[in-house]
Structure 1
Amino acid sequence: MIRQFELVDLVRAYDKNVDEALLNRAYVFAMKAHGTQKRASGDPYFSHPLEVAGILTSMKLDSDTIATALLHDVVEDTVATIPEIDEAFGPKIAELVDGVTKLSKIELQTESVRQAENFRKFLLAMSNDIRVLLVKLADRLHNMRTLFHIKKREKRRRISLETLEIYAPLAERLGMNELKDELQHLALEHFDPEAMEAITTRLNYLIEQDPYLEKETIETLRNLLRENGVDAEVYGRIKKPYSIWRKMENRKIEFEQLSDVLAFRIVVPEAADCYKALGIVHQTYSVIPGRFKDYISIPKPNFYRSIHTTVIGPNKRPLEVQIRTFEMHDEADYGVAAHWQYKQGTGVENGSQYRWMQELLDINAQSDDAEDFMEHSKLAMFKDQVFCYTPKGEIVPLPKGATCVDFAYAVHTEVGNRCVGAKVNSRMVPLRNKLQNGDQVEILTSKDQTPSQRWQSFVVTGRARSAIKRYIKNKEYAEYSQLGRNLIERACRRNGYEFSETVIDDAAKVMKLDDAEMLYTYLGQGALSEDAVLRSAFPGFQEDKRSDALPLVHQDDEAISGDVISVSGIKEGTAFHLSSCCSPIKGDRIIGIKRPGQGVQIHRTECPELAAFDEMPELWVDIGWKTNEDDDFYVALLSLDVVNQRGVLAEIASIVAKNGGNVSNLIIPERDPEFYVMHIDVEVRDDEHLKTIMRTMRISKLVSRVDRINRLGDKETA
């Protein structure tokens, strides 16, 4: 265990302005607070904050951060309080400790929600001062180093998964690759010990097969550079087991198929030397196409800078080479912590200066619950990057697989909400078009455009998904509110009462709801009944005074005024919704599924979504279409293979229009020189009307196939 004077000496070795008195007070305070507490290993608990402080001294952090490390567990695990820390150490230390303190007292329903809520609050704390995250990462690192003391394998596995999903990506986003590598290595040992053992065994065998390969390659590269006037250090390294494991999992390949198990780093004094060294390597060895990346010209979002290339090196083996300066080398290992060495005191405290963290804060603002935020945050942290440009030349980093819609939301949420089209490299492309490195993207917008629910099926960024989901949810709430208002207005008329906003406001107060808007929304969702509202609004209301009436129906995308369906087993006034996944139309065989808080969702009987409710027969409701004549239209989704020639869109639209239908939306997900796939939303009166339109389409010489499909993409027979 580190002694008091040893800790001070460690800090003084890199910081001449060390606050010795602060460190001594924090040391004594934490030691007394933890007292005789023990860890799972049997060691004194105080040894843990000491080790965390020691990890942070290796990063050469300031006295406030080291003091925070010593105190980071006293609020959770002892009787000490934040006000006491404020009084003893000042508001800054108290704020840091409060930010790091685990939020284990939050009582939520599930482990996943608790973890998500902790991460959400943790993000808000570290956005104010990035040192909160540095202390937390050091805390997790020491806990992972001692994880083997926990006896239950499932608990070790759960902690390791959390480390891989949250803490290692956060370390990577801060550019702290050395800490990230150790977290991943320790986590894999407990998450998948069999894989760790197998990979380690193969790596050892590889080294035994050619023990001098690394040394000989280093000497060859060093001599090559020296002969060409470049003074450089050359290092060799074996890929980390976790990196190998992840690549094997993602690419579904065997160990023998990996070509970059051994990699080398060339470290030079200046950035200009990097490009000179690159030229020498490329002149000497054949380059493997597609394996060159210049992160000096375009750094990663975590400020990582280096040149990566892969060549056919000595002995005709693939050779991965990374070229960087000494400063870049330190920043690659220590990330944001390296700024204390090179740019001490230049504002690294403020976490929100990092673009990735600002993106997470934006996602947090747009996510209605913690689990949504957690899901979208993982999307933001895990993906590899592509770099695209605005027409003005501004760089927009995006995850691999990002689309034009993702780009639009990365520029601004309002640009995303209003985007109607995109030009990539001056050529019009579908919004679902996947972007490549170096693409110049221009987003076309319209004030009349709103986000489409279909965008959720192809966007990949957490920011885009959360913004689209939030917009759609708000739109649904507005529809529920309008439906609820219509229902209660009808109920008042039906029972001889005069409807007024004042009466409904009073009813909301009686029911302890925030306002009439909340009452309407709950009523539209089916969470409240009309009878309950009438009893609260009119104390003399008697249920047997009601006359029979039929419930209103509305679609997810657009309210339908006037259509009614016959229902058995459901109380009058319940909200119904035509499910967007299979888009039922009049004449389809349908079934209802009760959804708490959402009324009843109506599905086609062939809908694949129904399989999720096979074991819940109590949620199924027998329903059928009423046979009355009406003028309402329903939306069906068709997929067509059409000939790629001029006039085809006009031909399709003409067929639909001549048969009394309407095309309400169209996308082209696939295109080649001969044919392309077209998905169209067609408004029809019923299933016979739809079949007539489809038969006419099949006669056209420009259409080779037409099918009705679900939103999930599964083809259905018309």
Structure 2
Amino acid sequence: MTAISIIENRSNEVQLPQWLQECLIDQESSESTSDDLLICRAFNFAYQLHEGQTRKSGEPYIAHPIAVASLLRSLGGDSVTIAAGFLHDVVEDTDVTPEEIEERFGVQVRLLVEGVTKLSKFNFSSTTERQAENFRRMFLAMATDIRVIVVKLADRLHNMRTLEHLKPEKQKRISQETREIFAPLANRLGIGRFKWELEDLCFKYLEPEAYEEIKSLIAERRADREARIARVTETLRSGLKNQNIEVVELKGRPKHLYGIYQKMQRQQKEFSQIYDIAAFRIIVKTNEECYRSLAVVHDAFTPIPGRFKDYIGLPKPNRYQSLHTTVVGTNGRPIEIQIRTKEMHQVAEYGIAAHWKYKETGSSNVSISSDEDNKFTWLRQLLEWQKDLSDAQEYMESVRDNLFEDDVYVFTPDGDVVALAHGATPVDFAYRIHSEIGNHMKGARVNGRWSMLSKPLENGDIVEIVTQKNSHPSLDWLNFVVSPTARNRIRQWYKLSHREENIARGKELLEKEMGKSGFDSLLKSEAMQIVTQRCNYHSVEDLLAALGYGEITQNHVVNRLRDVVKEQQPVETESAKEVEIPAYLNSNQEKHRGGNSPIIGVEGMLYHLAGCCKPLPGESIIGAVTLSSRGISIHAQGCENIDKIPGERIIPVSWNDDAEDNKAFTYPVDIQIEAMDRVGVFKDILARLSDRGINVRNAGVKTSRNKPALISLSLDIRDRQQLEYVFQRIKSMSDILNIRRVMNSGEQ
């Protein structure tokens, strides 16, 4: 279908914007540019792919990509960005592949589309995990090209504009995500016009009654507000003219609804008590005229002490620049005034997109590896945390905490500005500069004086970190640091500093699981090297250390080893014969099933589970005939007490996976957790157990000054798989140093 026929037929009843109509017509002329051709080809392709698809509103689906592309064009987006706006849903909603996108439209368009595409075709264990993985992928794409998030923001803004067609529960879920993630992202990128509209739309669906109330109150006072704006505007215009300052723009505007609501909540005031619901903006030509205009404002109205901010001399991390002042008007009410140049206004409205309009390189690709790197330290932090935070819930909390802008600006002794989260301490500052500075920090001087490490920093503080070679992090720091980076670096230091101890513990755990026979040879074998690689560790020692502090379970290692042995069985080499593999690793051993007894091999006999090792279904077991009246004692393979029992008393047994009542049984398991001693850590652990319906029989906590807390728990566990899940859930918490299963030394 040609461009002209698309415009004439309108078979899908979509009203094409004027700019797109002109672009489609121009593409058939000899004067059409390569950029226009790319945009038209992208529209035509999207038009054909989405033909027949409709949105929840009933309108043709193509209306959405057109709206997204139009928003990107209004931001000054280049042809690649606008093309990605048309194509952002085709990989997710059609059979088109990223490779085909690249072949037709180039690698840049492909990367933008891939970065925006949600992972809807993959399965995750929870909504939180899906959401976390979506954002991990998106932030990685942003690091390559910041335009990814601009396209995503345009996509989200149009979806929010048409949210009324979805079910109420979905409206709230999308609005909550938008408020927590996308509106702060728009703010971080300085795209004010997107931020304000996103926040107001979220307000509409999350607090509908408050939204309608404030909306109606503002409408009722419109006449009074407009008269007041006119009086102030005339006063300012007259004063600026007298000082020969050429004004590009001077106007007052109502603040957006959510901003007013936030102020009411923050100050605990009624709407009638909020006076500065309108803000004035003065746009002039030069920086020098900004400061001269400020003098005019302060001459005409009385400034309110402590309400002046110079974002020209000290720009925000999102590149925002303006002078902000609040003065008392003629009627005694506060007036908020912003003063900026035209270029500053473009950045305030369009953020990073304004860079496209003022750049001279000819390329719109904006990455954090360019000279803009220092503007996106918050994005680098998010990428760092992706390496450290494996737990989806914890990662999402870190994303939310970092995106909300409430920064404190402090200085290094050399005068460099460092932006930190509100409440940040000298320890957060030290780890922000470099992890080694934090790890060897002895103290801090703030403004030339020694400061408590727990004291929050304030705007304008000059911070000097004093280091010492033998100094190291303190567990107490975890009680007051606010940045995930500092918290994770402290936790990592404690894990690494106990490396030898963890390696020994890991070796001990694995030896108990597998038996002593041939164990040393097995650690040096090719099979163990393969297992190490498959578990994503560099060496066997790294694997043992991870096993020692609970990052991986011995059952996971044994299962991987069993798989490797099975793969090597068809080809029996000389080197394989030299390694003595424990017999129970052989997955080809025949197992006999039958009956409803949980354990095969003890049918009709009295038996009990050994109290020393407390085996679980899913673990290899062995039976031992006791000399008492307690019958057969069931031990885990590798239990040290088995070595003390003569061979004639050992009998082969196994768990009966076919027993009908297996899922109804639970077994006692004792675990010990080594955790950073902070308020609430015990409660957080119990909450994770409660969420999975795990019963806690007994619990105890032991604390010592400057040492980790030791938490002992007795749990009712169904099988080894459930225990592994419990270990994974607990060890994913950033405060956990080690978790292990406790075995008793003697038979009970």
Q: Which category describes the TM-score, using the shorter chain as reference length?
A: 0.7 to 0.9
Residue 464 of structure 1 pairs with residue 486 of structure 2: yes
Q: 1:272 aligns with which of 274, 282, 288?
A: 288
Q: Distance in 2 between matches of 1:425 and 1:11?
A: 62
Match of 2:342 in 1: 326
Q: 1:470 to 1:224 in 2, by over 3 A?
A: same
Instruction: Letter of the 1:358 partner, please give it.
Output: R
Residue 291 of structure 1 pairs with residue 304 of structure 2: no
Alignment deviations for residues 494-523 of structure 1 (CA, whole Å, 9 cap, x no partner): x87575253575785898974755466447
Instruction: Letter of the 1:7 partner, please give it.
Output: L
Q: Distance in 2 between matches of 1:74 and 1:47?
A: 14
Match of 2:149 in 1: 133
Q: 1:207 to 1:519 in 2, by over 3 A?
A: same
Instruction: Letter of the 1:404 partner, please give it.
Output: P
Structure 1 position 363, deviation (Å):
2.8
Q: Distance in 2 between matches of 1:131 and 1:120?
A: 16
Q: 1:384 aligns with which of 406, 409, 425?
A: 406
Alignment deviations for residues 502-557 of structure 1 (CA, whole Å, 9 cap, x no partner): 357578589897475546644764944799899995328966495559xxxxxxxx
Alignment deviations for residues 5-44 of structure 1 (CA, whole Å, 9 cap, x no partner): 741647999x995622222221211111111111111111
Q: 1:155 aligns with which of 146, 170, 174?
A: 170
Q: 1:620 aligns with which of 693, 696, 709?
A: 696
Instruction: Letter of the 2:155 partner, please give it.
Output: D
Aligned ranges 1:301-450 → 2 under 5 Å: 301-345=317-361, 348-352=364-368, 353=373, 354-355=375-376, 356-450=378-472
Q: Distance in 2 between matches of 1:393 and 1:480?
A: 43
Match of 2:582 in 1: 538
Instruction: Letter of the 1:502 partner, please give it.
Output: L
Q: Distance in 1 between matches of 2:315 and 2:307?
A: 17
Match of 2:672 in 1: 576
Further displaced range: 452-461 or 162-171? 452-461
Residue 107 of structure 1 pairs with residue 123 of structure 2: yes
2:704 counterpart SS class: strand
Higher relative contact order (CA 8 A, sep 6+): 2
Instruction: Letter of the 1:75 partner, please give it.
Output: V
Q: 1:140 to 1:34 in 2, by over 3 A?
A: same
Residue 212 of structure 1 pairs with residue 288 of structure 2: no
- Contact (CA 8 Å) 1:120, 1:370: kept in 2 or not? no
Q: Distance in 1 between matches of 2:490 and 2:362?
A: 37
Length-normalised TM-score, structure 1: 0.73
- Contact (CA 8 Å) 2:510, 2:554: kept in 1 or not? no
Q: Distance in 2 between matches of 1:476 and 1:45?
A: 58
2:355 counterpart SS class: helix
Q: 1:143 aligns with which of 159, 171, 179?
A: 159
Give unmatched runs, 5+ long, in structure 2.
Answer: 1-13, 563-579, 585-620, 625-637, 643-666, 711-734, 736-748
Instruction: Letter of the 1:128 partner, please give it.
Output: T
- Contact (CA 8 Å) 1:312, 1:318: kept in 2 or not? yes
Match of 1:183 in 2: 198
Residue 25 of structure 1 pairs with residue 41 of structure 2: yes
Residue 194 of structure 1 pairs with residue 209 of structure 2: yes
Alignment deviations for residues 447-466 of structure 1 (CA, whole Å, 9 cap, x no partner): 33343443333222343334
Instruction: Letter of the 2:418 partner, please give it.
Output: V
Q: 1:80 to 1:506 in 2, by over 3 A?
A: closer
Residue 636 of structure 1 pairs with residue 704 of structure 2: yes
Match of 1:500 in 2: 520
Instruction: Letter of the 2:582 partner, please give it.
Output: F
1:422 counterpart SS class: strand
Structure 1 position 301, deviation (Å):
0.4
Q: Distance in 1 between matches of 2:520 and 2:323?
A: 70
Q: 1:132 to 1:206 in 2, by over 3 A?
A: same
Further displaced range: 367-376 or 157-166? 367-376
Q: Distance in 2 between matches of 1:115 and 1:24?
A: 33
Length-normalised TM-score, structure 2: 0.71
Residue 72 of structure 1 pairs with residue 168 of structure 2: no
Q: Distance in 2 between matches of 1:12 and 1:303?
A: 38
Q: 1:314 to 1:477 in 2, by over 3 A?
A: farther
2:221 counterpart SS class: helix
Residue 255 of structure 1 pairs with residue 275 of structure 2: no
Match of 1:629 in 2: none
Give unmatched runs, 5+ long, in structure 1.
Answer: 550-568, 584-600, 626-633, 638-663, 666-680, 684-710, 712-718
Q: 1:54 to 1:481 in 2, by over 3 A?
A: same
- Contact (CA 8 Å) 1:367, 1:470: kept in 2 or not? no
Residue 455 of structure 1 pairs with residue 481 of structure 2: no
Q: 1:100 to 1:477 in 2, by over 3 A?
A: farther
Q: 1:117 aligns with which of 133, 137, 141?
A: 133
Q: 1:296 to 1:90 in 2, by over 3 A?
A: same
Let me know the Cα RMSD of the aligned residues.
Answer: 3.9
Identity %: 40
Q: 1:317 to 1:92 in 2, by over 3 A?
A: same
1:19 counterpart SS class: helix
Q: 1:546 to 1:126 in 2, by over 3 A?
A: closer
Structure 1 position 160, deviation (Å):
0.6
Residue 223 of structure 1 pairs with residue 267 of structure 2: no
Instruction: Letter of the 1:350 partner, please give it.
Output: V
Instruction: Letter of the 2:487 partner, please give it.
Output: R
Q: 1:18 to 1:455 in 2, by over 3 A?
A: farther
Instruction: Letter of the 1:177 partner, please give it.
Output: G
Further displaced range: 538-547 or 284-293? 538-547
Further displaced range: 342-351 or 71-80? 342-351
Alignment deviations for residues 382-411 of structure 1 (CA, whole Å, 9 cap, x no partner): 031221110011111122221111211221
2:454 counterpart SS class: coil
Alignment deviations for residues 416-436 of structure 1 (CA, whole Å, 9 cap, x no partner): 233221110011111111111
- Contact (CA 8 Å) 1:4, 1:24: kept in 2 or not? no
Q: 2:261 aligns with which of 245, 250, 274?
A: 245
Q: 1:538 to 1:304 in 2, by over 3 A?
A: same
Further displaced range: 495-504 or 74-83? 495-504
Instruction: Letter of the 1:185 partner, please give it.
Output: D
Structure 1 position 206, deviation (Å):
3.5
